[in-house]
Amino acid sequence: MGSGPSGSQPRSDRIGAGASGTPEARVDSGLAARHARQHVRQRRVSWLAAPLWIGVSALVMRFRFGYRIAQARSIRARYRAIRRQSDAPMLVCANHLTLIDSFLVAWALGSAFYWLRHFDELPWNTPESTNFARTPLSRMLIYVAKCIPITRGGAREGVGDVLERVKYLLGRGETALLFPEAGRSRSGRVEENAAAWGVGRIVGAVPRCRVLCVYLRGRRQETWGDYPARGDVMDVSINCIEPKSDARGVRRSRDLALQIVRELMRMEAEYFRARQ
Amino acid sequence: MEETEVFERVVKILTPWVKNDEALTSVGMETSILDDLKVNSARLVDVVIAFEDDFDIEIADEDVDQVNTVGDAVNLISGKL
């Protein structure tokens, strides 16, 4: 399973390895060679630098900001059990309250050592360009940290390009994390009417795609913000679903996205019930 | 159906989602749906579904990537009628 620094051959370096007619090949078929080249190049750089950036990220979250994941062992064990159930592509979808949610979600699902051994399971992220890709340095850092920046509300072709790349990497057995609400929830709660259909578009286009819904919230996180409070403890719940829809076209994508957001809403309701 | 009729129906459908009402007064084929009319990008899917219902057509996900302006929407719809 290991395909990281300790593995023999990075999976995504084997572009074109899927036999014609396989789900992977179908996902690949519509992808321009440019996407594949970009992906292989970035994955390789990220993989080579993984011991540094994954380790530093974990250390900074734990010791610089004092964050903790409540019941991290059981969450990670549950995640590994879900992974063992199937080798189908997996998209991770989480609620979104702070700028560093993607790091927190990854940290909740696995330790730094786990991600180094299972590098392709470590989700790719699609951070908002205006938040994370403003300077050459920040662009370099997010490039190394498995990020594909997206401009929310930008040119449709640019957004479509990123979605195509996410479909591609899922089809190759890698993982991506998307926030189905697109941005941080301004109400501090998961909002059904904020569901971004792009998530559904990906799920609908990747055969057998599973969605790992992750609800993560700091105990002192009253509403949205840039960072969780220093020393905050994160409660995390995870649940794997397989959204299905008989609708077609854009309607299907919206339907699938809504199923994901409603699952996150259900998890959120459970979270607040448990806290009462 | 004439292009002008498609245009008028497209603008009518877009109107409830437009946040910049001023831009509606001078709306044309080159008007950007997101930048000028300030339609929320997350709501674009609802607009497209409204196009589907109103014109009785089906629009694929990938088609939406080509829609930046009102004219793009008009051309997309006209091509499917």
Sketch the domain layout of chain A as residue ranges: 18-275
Q: Which residue of B has its CA nearest to A183?
A: B42
Query: A241 — phi, psi (to 5°)?
Result: -125, 160
Q: Which residues of A touch B61 (CB under 8 A)?
A: 201, 204-205, 249-250, 253
Write out residues in chain A with pLDDT < 50, as ranges. 1-27
Q: What is the pTM of this model?
A: 0.85
Query: How far apart are the C-alpha atoms of B21 and A141, rounded to whole Å?
Result: 40
Residue A164 confidence (pLDDT):
87
Q: Is the distance from CB of A89 to CB of A206 less than 8 angstroms?
A: yes
Judge whether A197 is closer than 8 Å to chain B, CB to CB.
yes
Judge whether A246 is closer than 8 Å to chain B, CB to CB.
no
Picking from A156, A193, A253, A261 by the largest number of B CB atoms within 10 A of its own CB, the best residue to mutate is A156
Q: Which residues of A touch B44 (CB under 8 A)?
A: 156, 197
CA-based radius of gyration for chain A: 18
- A51 CB-near residues (< 8 Å, 6+ apart): A5, A116
Among A130, A121, A127, A108, smallest CA distance to A170 is for A121
Residue A10 confidence (pLDDT):
42
Q: Is the distance from CB of A91 to CB of A205 less than 8 angstroms?
A: no
- A192 CB-near residues (< 8 Å, 6+ apart): A258, A261, A262, A265
- Bridge-partner residues for A255, per DSSP? none
- Reported ipTM exceeds the 0.85 cut: no
Residue A151 confidence (pLDDT):
80
Query: A148 — phi, psi (to 5°)?
Result: -120, 95
Cα of A134 to nearest chain B Cα, Å: 20
Residue A155 confidence (pLDDT):
65
Write out residues in chain B with pLDDT < 70, as ranges. none
Name the residue facing B65 among A157, A205, A248 (closest C-beta): A157
Residue A228 confidence (pLDDT):
94
A267 alpha carbon, distance to own chain's centre: 18
Question: What angle in degrees, to the nearest 10, is found between the helix axes of A197-205 and A156-171?
Answer: 40
Residue A4 confidence (pLDDT):
42
Residue A1 confidence (pLDDT):
36
Cα torsion A205, A151, A227, A65: sign: positive
Which of 3.30.70, 2.60.40, 3.40.1130, 3.20.20 would CATH assign to domain A18-275? Answer: 3.40.1130
Residue A20 confidence (pLDDT):
44
Continuous segment of H or E residues that includes residue A272: helix A249-275
pLDDT in tens, A84-100: 999 999 999 999 999 99
Domains along chain B with CATH numbers: 3-80 (1.10.1200.10)
